[in-house]
Amino acid sequence: MSADSYEDVATGKNDTIPALEVPPQDLYHAKSFITRWIFCQDAKVIGIQYAITAVSIGLVALVLSWMMRLQLAFPELVPFLGPAEYYQFVTMHGMIMVVYLLTALFLGGFGNYLIPLMVGARDMVFPYLNMVSFWVYFLAVLVLVTSFFVPGGPTGAGWTLYPPQAITSGTPGGDGLGIVLMLISLSIFVVGFTMGGLNYVLTILQARTRGMTLMRMPLTVWGIFTATILALFAFPALIVSCIMLTLDSLLGTSFFMPAIIEFGEQSEHSGGSPILFQHLFWFFGHPEVYIVALPAFGIVSDLISVHARKNIFGYRMMVWAIVIIGALSFVVWAHHMYVSGMNPWFGFFFATTTLIIAVPTALKVYNWVITLWRGNIRLTIPMLFALAFIVTFVNGGITGLFLGNVIVDVPLSDTYFVVAHFHMVMGIAPVLVIFGAIYHWFPLITGRFLHEGMGKFHFWITFLGSYLIYFPMHYLGFVGVPRRYYEMYESPFIETSTVSLNQFITIAAITVGLAQVLFLYNIITSSKFGKKAKRNPWEACSLEWQTADVPPTHGNFGAELPIVYRWAYDFSVPGAKEDFIPQNIAPSEVPDARVEKT
């Protein structure tokens, strides 16, 4: 045997690791209720604050979607909802869900809670800045909510906020404070996120524990890390477009506003380029899809591995795929603009890059499925959600391939097919991961399980219900039902069956929404009365489950930081007594484990 054999590792020759002299991190230990729970510097509390705020504003967006669905199917039930309100609800629903819920929850919520724990750090590298980051995000949400109460209401420009219509008087909230508050809120959000992103990146790069190399990190951390890098490149485009559009709206500049006649009068603007806004917006907007998707990819990889008791198939390939998807996500943005009148060669380029990005994405799907192959699959609730994610993501992804082709996109672009596509791929799929992740890490956060019966009911209603909502929408799109329309009624141009189908979709949407109320009830009751969880109840290998206390206290790891000896996927190792070996278990503690045969 060579010196580099597994025997050396197993017999403990690698256990003699010299002590690492690292100055202890200065942590601010809270002394009062306010500094412990409100202006708190502990990343775990900040993560929960992010999650509560994001879910709260997400519930508002959920109710808005109910209103929209009722208007489309049973308008007599929502007589207060006129065209202006409909467009305002569409806009706020979209923006809240994409930015204020999904982005904030994945990066602010899971990022804060999991990064320090998973990499073996005591906290984020800049805890104070981390706290400020949350409160800036909170301010952004407050400004957004304020727009509901100003004269003229919130903006109804659609979540893409395209000028010129976003700031013209015919658009709801266009000539009032609605659009301005939305733009200011987004700008504040970006500032807050940059503070948070600084922490996520630096903690992952610089504050990992001894032995935790980048290639030993769980894929959850890789997903959040890459998504944060993407956000740091992409969000400046959003803030730049927000600043310029705010100036067009308030000061009458013409960055994006062309000369137009508004209600018979020549507007004060001239010469601006609306297409420039679209480029800027989608330079942010498309990476935004992956800012949401990459953390979901990472988390689902870990859920599948833990609950299938098998190491993730092709770990390195999974990391590469995350990085490649991240890089490619910056060269596909104009596939959202095929109908903007762009040069056909431009469209050809972006169609090609869009199809290329499907390769690493498909690779990830294959690896998830191969991980399941011959695994010891435990059909726990997190696993159910993870499996549902794979199916949903494949469904949504395939329709993405349709829409990535210019010739297919052009006729489908303004139909419900697009609504179905993006809800499946970046609405339902990431939300399924969020649910799976909450069921998975709830025992760590509270020390208790969520109620299983309620959880399974919640899963099946959510999973099947989502398909009942969005599958028919594909059909609606194919038969030509246009999206963005306030009223749906029988017309000679559209099949009459679409009317009853719309009613069916609405009933399904309300049912799925109500199932989320049950989920919230489960969270509230289980956090107090749920079945107590033993330490590391899922028998996972990653460090967050190896803390001295459960739930982990401030500082995470007690007196000494853990030392990492292996990757996070040593499941079902031949020769080992148990079917998992945590990352901080030294080789000499599992001498018979044949890691090389895993």
- As given in the structure block, the two tokens for residue 117 are 């724990």
Question: Which residues, in sequence order, are bridge partners of residue 415?
Answer: 482
Phi, psi of 91 (to 5 degrees): -60, -50
| Least distance between another protein and beta carbon 111 (Å) | 16
Angle between helices 497-529 and 43-73 (to 10 degrees): 150
Q: How far apart are CA 223 and CA 303, in angstroms?
A: 13
Is 198 a binding residue for another protein by CB under 8 A? The answer is yes
Is 5 a binding residue for another protein by CB under 8 A? The answer is yes
Query: Which of 30, 84, 150, 232 lies at the binding interface for another protein (CB under 8 A)?
Result: 232
Q: How far is CA 228 from the centre of its chain?
A: 11
Site for another protein in 331-360 (CB under 8 A): none
Q: How far apart are CA 278 and CA 237, in angstroms?
A: 11
Q: How far apart are CA 247 and CA 206, in angstroms?
A: 40
Phi, psi of 491 (to 5 degrees): -140, 150
| Least distance between another protein and beta carbon 458 (Å) | 36
**Sole window of 134-142, 266-274, 289-297, 335-343 interacting with another protein (rule: CB under 8 A):** 266-274
| Least distance between another protein and beta carbon 187 (Å) | 11
Query: Which of 210, 309, 456, 483 lies at the binding interface for another protein (CB under 8 A)?
Result: 210
Is 8 a binding residue for another protein by CB under 8 A? The answer is yes
272 contacts 257 by C-beta, under 8 angstroms: yes
In the complex with another protein, the residue whose CB is nearer, 28 or 126, is 126
Is 314 a binding residue for another protein by CB under 8 A? The answer is no
Is 576 a binding residue for another protein by CB under 8 A? The answer is no
Locate all alpha helices (DSSP H) within 333-450, ordered by sequence.
344-372, 381-404, 406-412, 416-423, 429-446
- As given in the structure block, the two tokens for residue 76 are 């007599």
Please identify which residue in the block is written with the tokens 């910056």.
Answer: 330
**Sole window of 204-212, 473-481, 489-497, 531-539 interacting with another protein (rule: CB under 8 A):** 204-212
Is 268 a binding residue for another protein by CB under 8 A? The answer is yes
134 contacts 46 by C-beta, under 8 angstroms: yes
| Least distance between another protein and beta carbon 548 (Å) | 19
In the complex with another protein, the residue whose CB is nearer, 166 or 198, is 198
Is 59 a binding residue for another protein by CB under 8 A? The answer is no
Is 254 a binding residue for another protein by CB under 8 A? The answer is yes
Q: How far apart are CA 307 and CA 323, in angstroms?
A: 25
| Least distance between another protein and beta carbon 207 (Å) | 7
In the complex with another protein, the residue whose CB is nearer, 247 or 510, is 247
Locate all alpha helices (DSSP H) within 5-161, ordered by sequence.
6-10, 33, 43-73, 83-95, 112-119, 127-146
Site for another protein in 515-574 (CB under 8 A): 563-567
Site for another protein in 62-121 (CB under 8 A): 119-120
- As given in the structure block, the two tokens for residue 305 are 């591995």
Which of helix, strand or coil describes residue 345? helix
CA-to-CA dists, residue 93 to 61, 65, 153, 179, 372, angstroms: 5, 6, 14, 15, 36
Query: Which of 27, 276, 369, 479 lies at the binding interface for another protein (CB under 8 A)?
Result: 276
Is 239 a binding residue for another protein by CB under 8 A? The answer is yes
| Least distance between another protein and beta carbon 281 (Å) | 12
Q: How far apart are CA 244 and CA 248, in angstroms?
A: 6
In the complex with another protein, the residue whose CB is nearer, 271 or 492, is 271
Is 596 a binding residue for another protein by CB under 8 A? The answer is yes
Where on the chain is the footprint of another protein (CB under 8 A)?
4-6, 8-9, 14, 17, 20, 22, 119-120, 125-126, 194, 198, 201-202, 205-216, 232-233, 236-237, 239-240, 243-244, 247, 251-255, 268, 270-273, 276, 280, 315-316, 319-320, 323, 563-567, 595-596, 598
